[in-house]
Every structure is written in structure tokens, then in C-alpha cells.
Amino acid sequence: MNSTDKALCEHILQVAQALHSQNMLAAADGNISFKVYQDYIFITPSGVAKARMDIEDMAVVNSQGRVMVGKASSEMAMHLAVYNSCPKAKAIVHAHPPTAIAWSIARPDDTELPSDAMSELILSVGSVPIVPYARPGTEEMGSVLKSYLPQHRCLILARHGALSWGEDLEEAHKGMERIEHTAIILEKAQRLGSITTLPKEEVSYLKEIRKSLGERIL
């Protein structure tokens, strides 16, 4: 492993530790990956506590799912589905943000977080869909994502967790923070009274601004 690869793996470890400190990872939950180039993807290992990983634990896979080094995450299929559907994707974060997961459990008929309630959600990501449940560790986890890609970079995985992807690790991490922060605000609004929405003309205006800001997560 060269110095560039080591620095990249250190960054992955830092993101994992940050997610753990933010209560979005517990024990061996979650996974993070980075596509160095088409057939060289770093991905966190299976069965290892992400907040206590070492560089030597990191696995390497190719775009076809062949494990080249280490013991890759059991949810590798989900990562490969994103990389194969999103040419701009370079990094993926899958975590278990508590409020976002609770939202999908308590509101099983919802197909997305109510984005029309919050200006910053519209401006930062547009919307956050809730992807139907798929059994963890199966190929289905990748297949259920495909209709949401590449147009969405932040997604809640029903009754399981959330996924965010970006053009670098910072963007992917930022997306996970955005998902959980939004879910917390909406949950508090519901407990305080109800979730109200912005006027339709304001929503339309904000969506136009979002288009002008580009595709990246803000």
C-alpha cells in the first residue's frame, strides 16, 4: 500500500470514528467505501467494529465484486450498485442513523422524508427517498436502489439504515449527517404539534435554486 492509499484509508477510518461518535454506528454496523479507480475499491471489512478498525483491516474489491484483499463487507452488493449506476460516485457511507431508521419504522407508508417542510433540505439535497426494505447482506440490497440512482445521493433504507454517496468522502459523510439531522428536526416537529409545509410557490422557488446549485450535497 503506497502513501496515497494509506492516507485514503486513514480518512476512511476518521469518517468511521466520526459516525460512531455521532451515534450513527454501533459495534460492527455500517460500511464505507472509496473507488480509487474502476477496478480498485477500498471497502471496510465485515464483522469489525468500524470505530476501532486499523488500516490493515481494509478490504479491496473490484467493480465485479471479486475480493482482492481482505474480508469485504457483506453489503458489498449495495456499494457496487451505486458505483455501477453513478459515474460520479467516488465514496459511499452506509450507517444506521437512529432517527432516520425510526422514521421508516413508524411511517411504513412514507416514500420520502417530507421535504416540503424544510428549506434547507430542499436546498442541500432536494429530497430524501425511503427505499423499500431489502434483506441485509443480499443482492436485493443493490437491486432496490437502482431506480433511485443516480438522481438521489441521500437515501433512507427502510427498517435498516441510510446510504449517502458523493464525489469524495467529505460529501458522502455530509450526506449522512444531513439525513439524520433532518429526521431529528421532523421528529421533534411531530412531537411538538405537527409537520407543516411551506407554501407551494416557495417550494417551487427553492427547487429552482437547488437546480442552480448543482448536484453535490450541501
- Cα 106 versus chain centre, distance: 20
Helices (H), the chain: 3-21, 76-85, 98-106, 119-125, 140-143, 169-192, 200-213
* Domains with residue ranges and CATH for the chain: 3-213 (3.40.225.10)
Name which of 112, 110, 109, 81 is nearest 94 in CA terms: 81
pLDDT, tens digit (0-9, with 9 covering 90-100), for 18-61: 999 999 999 999 999 999 987 899 999 999 998 899 999 999 99
To the question of pTM greater than 0.85 for the whole model, the response is yes
